[in-house]
Each structure stands twice: as structure tokens, then as C-alpha cells.
Amino acid sequence: MIKFLQSGNKAAKYILAGFLLILAGSMVTYLIPGFTGDSNVRGETGVVASVGGHEIHREEITQAAQAQAERIAQGRQIPDFYMAMIRQQALGELIRQAEYQYEGERMGLKVSDQELRDALRYGPYGQELFPGGKWIGAENYKALLSQKGYTVEKFESEFRLGLLQWKLINVLGVNATVPDSEVEQAYKDENTKVKIQYAFLKLDDVTKTIKPTDTELKAFYDANLPRYKNSIPEKRQIKYFLISEKSIADKVTVDPAEILRAYSANQESYRVPARVKVRHIEIDAPPPAPGAKVDPKAVDAARAKAQDVLKQVKAGGDFAALAKQYSQDSGSKEKGGELGWLVTGQTAPEFEKVAFTQNKGQISDVVQAGYTFHIIQTEDKEGAHLKPLAEVKPELEEALKQNKVKTEMARVSADAEAAAQKQGLEKAAAKYGAQVVESNPIGRSDLLPGIGAEPPLMDAVFAATDKSGPQATQTAQSTVVFEVTKIVPPSTPSFEEKKADVANEFKNQRAAAVLSTKTREMADRAHMEHDLAKAAKEAGATLKTSELVSRAQPVPDIGSMSGPANVAFTLKQGEISGPLNLGASQAVLQVIERQEPSLSGPEFAKQRDQMREGLSGQKRQLIIKQFESDLGARLEKEGKVKINKTEMENLSKSRS
């Protein structure tokens, strides 16, 4: 497959759009308890579920869950209860993928090597695998996947499965047709405009009128006491000193002999392969659609165009200018066809052979690679060689120093902790020329002087007890040796301590109730009199009139017309709405003018196809969701989806 990726075919960019659709749905999960256990998989160790004979192992789920947890946590610890939920989501996604695979294969759908190659080049991973349109090479491909926890085989297998899912989704999407009536209604909904008169009352204005007594506030406090219980969080007081990484680094030196030994031991890392610097002009023939035959006329036309450009080059034309004018390689076109330095394995074999065998400055004839034609200029060449020590010495010395500093920091951290436990913080701090600092009572989110925000340190502080004794924790730039001296447990504030907050809560709650009542009365009065202005005056509300607006436009004091005020577009001219809750205010509105768009005008003709495509996409999504739901239910009913209850319990209990 790696060699297969090196060819230059630029095919089927629809793969990208299709695969992005799959990625967008990749977080769809099942509610695992909805599946029923089955004894058929009970005896298989590590097999948590199976779909149509395809087994899902515990290791797969753990790896998928861990990857998801790392994306969420960004270096922080994930609680066990949350990891259990992530593992269930991972299992649900693996079951969904297996169901798609089962159904796709049942329908006879397959993914060819050509389709896989095109998807890798032009899909979501194209920039990583083909930066600037150049294949990164077999070894870099393996290394990149290894960093992501994949082998080549596993990655391509999962990617192929994604493409199979996309093919199945495309089959489903055939039914996502949108009739003219729906397009017309959507156009009307989007382009209808209304002019409204509206009366509103602000929550802040009502809140200012609420004047609670102490008796009312105390009764409110007592009624909500369970909510205030232990609302003052736990705090801890600590004594600590720190040893900075800089103080260690200042004492660390690297001997020239060490640098030489490291250079000698890692010479393979400093070997530079043979390479060439090239420009090219690329002319593409349109690739055949999946399952279709090559159009020889299109290939001949591309070849003829390339030959014509070559004639201009050989006639003395500027290569870079001609590349900008004719080349179809978007990655190098604007750079005059410049590809930079290439090593073997980065381009198609046909391209590579010519580029490496030409002399410096030589320009090739037309070279065909797949459905692509190239004119190649070899600008410079270098043979394979070993980077000299002088060239790599600075970075090698810095790497050795950093390793020494990390090792020394770990040793110092352990020694400082042992000294503090044996001799106490003061004597241990003196040994390292540090000063002991005593904090005030601190919460988890507070900052410590000289340290700043360090969640891992605060986790350690709040995990310790007042009898734990001194312990050391390494932060990003230092080692902190601390001891918990006092624990202030969480507590419930008294009425007096909480009085200001209680007063605000009481006022807000009472004001919201009063506001709702006043707005409802105003709406009722407006409907009865069919006069919003009169009802607004009686209620003390502010009355305003808008311009003609669409659903996408905001109105002062009302906000977006796509929110609660959207009701205006369902009313006839002259009709009055009910109360509208706008959050910081409540309102009543009346439609005083309504304009609907013409379906016979040029604007509708211009937007019709685009609107149909948008509606079709929405319908496709609904079809896919319904298909997934129906497929899962059908396969479960047919006994194709089986869950191992024992392994499920083990999975739920396992730690991250």
C-alpha cells in the first residue's frame, strides 16, 4: 500500500467531502444498557461484544477511550466515573462502525485500493501525508502512524472501513430528494419580512422595586438551606519550599567527550540521504469516476498540453513563469513550480527516476505518472552524507543537558522529600538554600506565591492529610516540597454570612414572578382591547416600532428575530402575540406590516438550487440518523449484536 500511495493520480475529491461527513458523525454513541446480553460471547475472554461475527475486544475499547480521554483532559487526570462513561461511548461507536461494516458488506459494497489511495491523498490527512503535494515517504508514513498509536495495516483498515461507511451513506442519500414545494416554503421562511410594534418590561426595573424584609429573607434562607449546605469549600494551609529547575540547570555541564559519544552512538540519526532540488510543471488528466473506464481522449489532451508547454520551455521560456501560468499543482504553482529538496520515496517512481538521474540544471521531457504529466527541472543535487559533529553539536549538547537536568531534578526531588521527612521542612530547605513559605488557607483554584497555577500540585495538596508529613511534587519549572499544616473543612454559611447573596436570589426570584404576571396581564389586555399601545401604557411598559426585518436580523431590546420573537412570522398582519420571555426582559408584539417574497423573481431563481442542496443535506442527515437507529434495532432483534455481560462489568470497573 505504501508504494501504491506514491503515484501521482489526482482523483475523486468527492472522497474528502464524504469522509468529513463520517468524521462529523463519529461521536454518535449508543446507550449500552439498551442492548441485551447473550451467552454466545460469554466464554470469549476479552470479547466485550460482537456484531454479525465481528468481535470487539476490550483492548480496542480501552485504546479508543484512552485516546478520547487524552483529547479531553489535555494532560490532567480524568476521574474514574468519567472514564467509565467514555469507555461506554467508545464501545457504542465501535458497535456502530461494526454495524455499518456488516450492512455494507451484506449489500456488496467494497472499497478499492484506488479509492483508498485517493482518499488518503485528498481527504482529511492529505496535508500530513502529502505536504505541498509531495508524499512523505514510507518510513515517515510509518513513523507518523506510530506516533498516533497505529500500524500501517490498522490505520488503513480503519480508514477503509470509514470509506465503506461513506459509500453506504451515499446509497442512503439517494432518497434525500426535496420537492419544489419545500424549496419554495423554505425561501419564503427565509425572506419574509415583518414590521412589528412591541412593548417590553425589563427584569432589572422590576427587581429594583422588590424590597424584602429580614423576616422574608430568613424564611427564604431556611427554605433553601439544603442548597447552601457546605457551599463554603474546603481550604488548606501549607508550609512549603521550592527548588527551581534553573538552579539545577546552572550547575549542569556537558563534557565534550559525552557529546562525542552521543554523536557516535546516534550517527544514523544524522545521516542525510541523497536528495535533489526540483521544479516541475504539472498537467493533469481528469481521473475516471469509481468503476468507470479511463477516457483516452482526455489523457491524450493532457499529454498534448504538456508537450506544448515543453516546447515553450525549450524555446527559452522562463520555467518559473510558465509553471505559474500552466501548472495544475496548487502546492507549487505560485512558487514557480518549486518543490524544494526531495529524497527517494517522496514522489511517484516515474518522477523520482528522472529527477535523480538528470544532471544539475537539466530539464526533462514530458514524464507521465498515473494520470499526471510532469516537466521536471533538476536545480541542484546532493549525495548521501553524514552531518559533521560541528553542525549538530549545539542541539546535541542542549538535549544532553536537558536530560541531565531532568534526571537531577528527579534525584533532588526524592532527596529533598526524604530530608524533609527526616529533619523537617526548615532544615531540608536550608540544605538547598531555599526559604520556607507558609500560606494562608487556600482553595484548589488559588495561586501560591512563587509558583502560580499548578493543578497537579494542588491535586497533591488536597489529596494529602494533616498527618501525611512532607512530600515533594514536581511542577513545570520546579520541585515543591510541602506539608499540610491545617485543614479547614467545607462549611455551611450562616444567615448573616449569606445574607447579601440570599437577598439577591430572593429579589431575582420574586422579580421574575412579578415580571411574568405583569407581561401576561399586558398581553391579555392588548388582546381584549386589540390595542397594544394602550395596554403597554397601563402596564408601564416601553413601546417601540421596528423596521422591516427578516428572521436573521436583530431588533433593539428584542434580540434576534430567530429567537422567541420568531413567532411574529407565524402571525397575520394586525395579530398580537402572547408573552415572550427574552431573558433579561419580557415582551408582547404586534405585526403591523408583513412582506412575503415573490417566487417568480430573479432572486428566487438564483437561490433555488443552493437552497435545494441545503435542504437535501439536512434531509440526508435525518435519513442517516434514522438508518442508524433502525439498523441497530434490526440487528439486535436478529441476534447479530451480542454483549458479554461479564466483560461489560469488568470494563465498567476498570480504571483509566
pLDDT tens for 235-255 read 999 999 999 999 999 999 999
pLDDT of residue 336: 94
pLDDT digits (tens, 9 = 90+) for 139-156: 888 888 887 777 888 888
In a domain, 265, yes or no: no
What backbone torsions phi and psi does residue 94 show, to the nearest 5 degrees? -65, -35
Are residues 405 and 379 both part of a single domain? Answer: no
Residues of the chain where predicted confidence (pLDDT) is lower than 50: 1-44, 655-656
How far is the C-alpha of 243 from the C-alpha of 479, rounded, in Å? 5
Domain span at residue 324 reads 274-383
- One domain, residues 345 and 462: no
- 409 and 312 fall within a common domain: no
Domains contained in the chain, number? 4
Q: Which residues contact 605 (CB under 8 A, 6 or more apart)?
A: none
pLDDT of residue 291: 53
- If you compute the radius of gyration of the chain from its CA atoms, what whole number of angstroms results? 35
Q: What is the helix (H) or strand (E) element at residue 522, kind and residue range? A: helix 495-529
- CATH of residue 576's domain is 3.10.50
Query: Do 83 and 168 have their domain in common?
Result: yes
Q: Do residue 22 and residue 61 come from a single domain?
A: yes
Q: What is the CATH number of the domain that holds 645?
A: 1.10.4030.10
Q: What is the DSSP letter of 588?
A: E
Give the C-alpha separation, 419 to 413, whole Å. 10
Please report whether residue 202 resides in a domain: yes
pTM for the predicted model, two decimal places: 0.52
Pairing of strands 580-581, 54-57: unpaired
Residue 204 belongs to a domain: yes
Same structural domain, 29 and 131 = yes
Residue 92 near residue 136, CB atoms below 8 Å: no
pLDDT of res. 44 = 44
Q: How far is CA 155 from CA 66, 104, 584, in A?
A: 17, 19, 51
- The domain that holds 278 is classified in CATH as 3.10.50.40
3-state helix, strand, coil in the chain (%, to 5): 55, 15, 30
* 229 found inside a domain: no
Residue 233 has which C-alpha cell? 469549600
The DSSP secondary structure of 349-367, one letter per residue, reads HHHHHHHHHSPTT-B---E
Packing angle of the helix pair 80-106, 58-73 (nearest 10 deg): 120
Tell whether 219 is covered by a domain.
no
Among 383, 406, 441, the domain-final residue is 383
Q: Where a domain ends, among 488, 515, 534?
A: 488
Reference 545, options 359, 389, 536, 304; nearest CA is: 536
**Which residues have a Cβ under 8 Å from the Cβ of 135 and sit 6 or more positions away?**
5, 6, 129, 345, 346, 347, 348
Residues 373, 449: one domain? no
Cα–Cα dist 296/160, whole Å: 29
Query: Tell me, what's the pLDDT at 396?
Result: 92
- Report the DSSP beta bridge partners of residue 471: 482
Neighbouring C-beta atoms of residue 340, cutoff 10 Å: 14
Same domain, 458 and 552: no
Same domain as 478, residue 505: no
Whether residue 22 contacts residue 165, with contact meaning beta carbons closer than 8 Å, is answered with yes
Q: Is 221 helix (H, G, I), strand (E, B) or coil?
A: helix
Q: Is residue 180 part of a domain?
A: no
pLDDT at 138: 83
Q: List C-alpha distances in Å: 626 to 102, 173, 619, 620, 629.
A: 17, 12, 11, 10, 5
Asked whether residue 242 falls in the same domain as residue 132, the answer is: no
Residues 395 and 249 in one domain: yes
Asked if residue 498 lies in contact with residue 221, where contact means CB atoms within 8 angstroms, the answer is: yes
What pLDDT score does 26 carry?
Answer: 40
The pLDDT of residue 2 is: 39
Rounded Cα gap, residues 26 and 35, in angstroms? 20
> Quick check: 281 and 326 in contact, CB under 8 A?
yes
Residues 317 and 462 in one domain: no
Q: Which of 349, 383, 417 is the endpoint of a domain?
A: 383
Q: Does residue 631 lie in a domain region? A: yes
Count of alpha carbons within 13 Å of 464, Cβ hemisphere only?
Answer: 27
Residue 525 forms part of a structural domain: yes
The pLDDT of residue 159 is: 85
